[in-house]
Structure 1
Amino acid sequence: MAPIEKDIETTLFNESEYITQSKKYELQDTTESSELIKSKVRVQHHGEVFTPKWMVKKMIAEPSIQEKLHDLHATFLEPSAGEGAFLKEILHQKLNFVSSISNKSTWQSNALWALMSIYGIELLQDNLFRARSAMLEIVINHYQAFMQKELGKKTNFYKSAKYVIKTNIVQGDTLKYTTNDGNLIELSHWWPEDKRVRREVFTYKSLFNNSDKNDRTAELGQLSLFDDLVENKPKEYSTCDVMKVYKEEIK
């Protein structure tokens, strides 16, 4: 397998190309790759097979999932994110809900809350960067379609959205609970406090109780919901304005 270039994250997605010069911005559907596998080597080494879009939509169409998609704070975790097939569709549908309940003064904060509720873990770095980039594209598209104006890269909303995506969509091996560096996979819960947010970091392993920690089948499944988090979080951040979450500081 060829090594992944260090700058792939910056080259995969060119924001200036995505933000059009048209005065009218239209909402676009999520994109789909026509390939279910990248190579036989990746299938053999990592079991990598992508889920087709029609199957993603069918699974997410389940009434119990649709109910959660209409809740800003209901959480979704994709433990084998790939290039983000499930993450993209979940975000797309959640932002559709945001647009249905928001006005121009509340859309951005509601969109960030929706984004904070979506988590993904991916083993391979190239897939990870593509998933993050695709999610950012969706955020930009929804913002521009709703606001009917270009989203600037220097705005608080853009910086916060990019920060949340990078924080919530992480690299790791869910079978080992660890990252490539050997550290435990860390995720963050974003606690709403009025119009502010408080971030608490916890480990992926902590989502499983003692009886489940050695049961690898507990981690399988394309889509998971989690609500209850255990005690003893390793990090806690100061409460901050949700629109300036990228400026948050550790206590």
Structure 2
Amino acid sequence: MKVASGVEMIELKIAAMGNEVVLNPTLVWDNDMSILIDTGIPGQLEAIKEAMDKTPVSFNTLGAIILTHQDIDHIGSAPQLLKESNKDIMVYAHKEDQPYIEGDLPLIKTDTSRMSQQELEALPNEVRYLYNNPPKIEINKLLEDGQKLPYCGGIEVIYTPGHSPGHVSLYLKQTKTLIAGDAMVKMNNQLHGPVKQTTLDLTIAIKSLEKFLDYDIENVICYHGGLFKGDPRPYILNILKEELV
């Protein structure tokens, strides 16, 4: 059955430090296939499949995964998704994060060799195991700044480094939707810059937000915070003004 093109934000709930945290991958689709942008933490395969079942497309339409960057809460369930599928799924990411995602280098922010003994001992056993055994995924195609993927009415790649070396955001032309990844977060229905504690180079990350000003945006999906409806320009300009002084 043919389905119209569309975009849907997925909510994946996890327990972290006694609190419930919601991650927001994005599912986009057209008549040919569906694409999942980011994949939650390891072990969320079934939650992703259940979320897809609530949309006009099912798991067996999944033809590609786009990873906005290397963090473990974005790449986590990608290996399970690939294993579960009965067809080849293309995996996209930026070249600057490729060696980390493929396992040639340890994930920067969860590299236990960089942690003190005190930091290691503070980690729950299951988290320490995960940090020492991170997911690894082969990248099939590398993303470049300004690249236009011919799916779902057009997906444009916006290279937004800083949060990680290879962080990308994505612009869905058909729906004027920006998928920000971790370049911005939404809190109290307002847009904010990237989280300082988890951003490798805050100055570069903030500077990257200038690129969004060139796009006609009506919706923003933040991986942390979810959907923001409206013009993000005033928030972006305010972030740039406050941080780049």
TM over 0.5: no
Q: TM-score, normalised by structure 2?
A: 0.30
TM value normalised by structure 1: 0.30
Q: Quick check: which one's helix share is greater?
A: 1
